[in-house]
Structure 1
Amino acid sequence: MTDIATDPLGTQLFSTMPFTAGLGVEVLECGPAQVRSRLAWNESLCTLGGAMHGGALMSLGDATAAVCAYLNLPEGKQGTTTVESKTNFLRAVRSGHATATSRPLHAGRSFIVVETEIHDDAGKLVAKVTQTQAVL
C-alpha cells in the first residue's frame, strides 16, 4: 500500500461520520474547490468476483461530496444533508484504491450540487456521482 499524507482538516471533518471512519476512508485533500479521499480495496468490502461493492463506492462518494458541500455552505449555515444521489458505475475495483474527487457544481442558499468522480489506481473512471445536498 502506498504511504500517503492525509489532510488534517479533512480527517477531522470525515471523523464526524463514524460509518466513513469505519470503512477506513483516507482524506487526501480538503478545500472548498475540491475534496479528495480514497478507500483501500479489502475483501470485506467486496461482492462476487472480488469487486469492491457498489455500496462501498457509493459511501465513499457520498462522504466525500458531503464534506465538499459542507465547505461550500453559505455564511451562517451549519450543515447539509443528502436529498438526492445518482451513481453511474463504469468498471470494477479489484485491488488497490478507489479515489474520489468531489467538486461543487452549484452552491446556492438552499441546495448544493456536487459532482464526484471515483477512479482506480490506474486513473480509470470507476464511477460518477451527482449529488444534491440540502442546506440546513
Structure 2
Amino acid sequence: MSRISLPEFTAILDRELPITRLLGIHTEAITHGQGRLRMIYNPDLVRPGGTVAGPAMMALADVAMYAVVLSLLGPVELAVTTNLHINFLRKPAPGDILAEARALKGGKRLTVVEVELYSGTAPGDADRALVAHVTGTYSAPPNPDAAAVSRAIEAGSWE
C-alpha cells in the first residue's frame, strides 16, 4: 500500500512545486513503488522541429520519480534528485506524454527509479510509443523503515 495518497501527493505538488501546473503535469495513479503521470499537451512545450521539448520531458520524469519515492517513504518533502539519466529514443509527436515509473532499489537514503515516457493516450493503446527511458536516484532523510522498503522493492512485493 502506498504511503501517500493521490490527493496528498497532488497537494504537495500544488503547494511546493507549482511548476507542475505550468507544465500541465497531472498524477493519474500512485501505488506503493509505482506512479503514472501525464503531461497534457501544450503548444508552448513544442520545440523547433515540431517535437515536445526535452526539458519538459525531463521534468515529467523527475516528478514521476518523486511520486514513486513518496509512495515508499510517505510525505518526505526533502527528498531530492541526485541523478537523472535520460535516453531519448524517438521524436514524440505533439501530444500528451505519459510517464510510467517504478522503484528499482531502495536503501537507507537512496532510491533508484526507472521511468518510461510514452506518446499516446493511455496505457495499452496500440498507438502509444516509447519515446524516452529514464533512470534516476533520489536521496531522502534517513528512513527508519529503509530495510523493509528495500526488501519489498527487491521482492517485487510493493503492489
Q: TM-score range by the shorter chain?
A: 0.7 to 0.9
Report the counterpart of residue 62 of structure 1 in structure 2: 62
Post-superposition Cα deviations, 1:2-25, rounded to whole Å, max 9, x if no partner, equal: xxxxx5344224323111122111
Cα drift, residue 76 of structure 1: 9.9
Query: Share of identical aligned residues, percent?
Result: 30
Cα RMSD after superposing both structures:
1.9
- Tell me, yes or no, if the aligned pair for 2:93 and 2:119 is still in contact at 8 Å: no
Residues 77 and 98 of structure 1, relative CA distance in 2, 3 Å threshold: closer
Equivalenced residue count is 129
CA drift at 1:27 = 1.2
Q: 2:48 is matched with which residue?
A: 48
Q: Secondary structure at the match of 2:133?
A: strand
Gaps of 5+ in 1: 1-6
The structure carrying a bigger helix percent of its residues is 2
Name the residue aligned to 2:131.
Answer: 126
Q: Indicate how the Cα distance of structure 1 residues 134 and 93 shifts in structure 2: closer, same or farther if over 3 A, else same.
A: same
- The whole-number CA distance in structure 2 between the counterparts of 1:8 and 1:55 is 26
Counterpart in 2 of 1:4?
Answer: none
Residue pair 1:13, 1:67 contacting (<8 A) in 2 also: no
Structure 2: how far apart are the matches of 1:68 and 1:79?
14
* SS of the residue 1:49 aligns to: coil
In structure 2, what is the equivalent of residue 135 of structure 1? 140
For structure 2, the 5+ residue unaligned runs are: 1-5, 121-126, 142-159
Deviation string 1:50-70 (CA, Å, 9 cap, x unpaired) is 100000000000011112112
Are the equivalent residues in 2 in contact too, given 1:9–1:30 (CA < 8 A)? no
The 5 Å alignment of 1:7-86 reads: 7-15=6-14, 16-73=16-73, 79-86=78-85
Alpha-carbon spacing, 1:88–1:8, altered in 2? closer, same or farther (3 Å): same
**TM-score in terms of structure 1 length:** 0.85
The structure number with the bigger radius of gyration is 2
User: Residue 72 of structure 2 aligns to a residue in which SS?
Assistant: coil
CA shift at 1:78, angstroms?
5.6
User: TM-score with structure 2 length normalisation?
Assistant: 0.74
Secondary structure at the counterpart of residue 72 of structure 1 = helix
